[in-house]
Structure 1
Amino acid sequence: MDVFRQFGSLSAFVDFAKGPSDMPTYRRSSRTKGNQEFTGTSSWEEATHLADGWQEGARRFAQQSVTLAPKGRKTRRTTAMREVGPGVLSMGNYLTGHPQPYVTLQETNRPRPGKGKIVRFLVNISASASVKTSVIERRGAAITALVATLERAGRRCEIVAVAVSHASNGGESIEYRIALKKSQEKVNLPSLAFALAHPSMFRRLVFSARECEGKDIRYKVGIGKGDGYGKSTDVKEVESGTIYLGAMRGRDSQWKSENAATEWVRSELKAQGIELK
């Protein structure tokens, strides 16, 4: 039977990943030391510390996203109300007998409004073993830059991370979905930076969560039988209108360079009707 688990926040998922496991520690890939090229961290303890917020990654990604500034447009806003002119007579105020029917208007540059539109992301953080840590970081940086730019342009973003795998022989699957940001929440860049761009999110935290499953479940999805931690795969169905990023594989061309990743961000912004300066 396929396993499906949903987590309401990154912290809830981390708590699950920290849970007990009947696997011997020496066999747990999440606890392997000295494999920094693969996981981006030297230990399990370092990974769980970064899960509280990857500050260094957040600083780097913030600098990268500065160049992606949404084009503003002239808008008018009320700056004062007066009993008499100069100013513009507000007919609404005048007809209702407001004591200050005159208003002063000032032009200002503001990002184009999103009209309350919610942009939904479903990001598959699964990665095949051939995917380099630099590629994982580059893709994650591009996604966080896209989200930050959309929010500055007045769009509200909802982000869910997903990790899916099944046995190499095509057996049963195990899927985790983790809510990283709700539409009404502000962007928590250090948290998003770790969840979307740090290799340890998948290669330590998700691995550990799978190690916490019962032996019968682990064996059915190919964990603990000498054939790795299952085969990363894509979700079967994606809700219409959702921006979906599939499981990472070594052949993905849009993450091969900074320029390619930036072009991907620009194309997604264009699809959302956002122009850049």
Structure 2
Amino acid sequence: MPELTLNNGVTIPQLGFGVFQVPAEETQRVVEDAFEAGYRHIDTAAAYRNEAGVGAAIAASGIPREELFITTKLRNGEQGEAYDAFQRSRDALGLEVIDLYLIHWPVPSQGLFTQAWKEMEKLYQDQHIRAIGISNFLSDHVDTLLKEAEVVPAVNQIEVHPTFQQGDLATKCRDLGIAVEAYSPLGQGKDLNAEQVALVAAAHGTTPAQVILAWHLAQGTIVIPKSADSTRMRENFGAADLSLTESELAAITALEAGARIGSDPAVAAFTQL
């Protein structure tokens, strides 16, 4: 599995496994299946309410802790108590150290994300977190944070898929040394049906999902597909072995349509509590 080196020297498996919308009662089984398929990077969040299931799978796996990379995120409604919220996540996961901790959404209407970042910087400096980052931060949110930050975020996890690429934001982040991590990397399945994707998949004898994931990997993007089906997990994991030509990559990039699926971070203000 290819790895990327973050701006603080920590390495992260480029292809991970997300557990968004995985029910709490199914999470341990799903994550155990992901481990069996080969994944070592798991992405969860306090708002998903399944951190405990991830922790149970880690404990049952027997995989050495240093071989795993675990990400979780700060809930929007807990930005004013980031230190305590982190402790709750750490307890739920049963881990002493979290590999990557993210502010889940900026929620600019609260005006609290810089305060949360300061608390996360302390947790990072105290070595409770190996890397800290952000999620769903648009360009102006990044600028606001960097004016106050002592630590440059290691990652910005944003919605990216062929029909919604956020190219300007991704380029800005990379220029600042902030790695780009894609959620909804397949457009929640909608981008799998594109003719260009089907043609590339047919040419390589692979699945459309593998093609899109390989497109992400070729751009140096961290990507976290999810599936509760063990066969699809294994298929997706195989994207790491697929190399696309420049013309194939360009054909997928040409699918850009500005088709955001998730909430707009400029106005999103849900608490997640």
TM-score, normalised with respect to structure 2 = 0.24
Please say which structure displays the higher CA radius of gyration.
Answer: 1
Higher strand share: 1
Higher relative contact order, chain-length normalized (CA < 8 Å, sep 6+): 1
TM-score, normalised with respect to structure 1 = 0.24
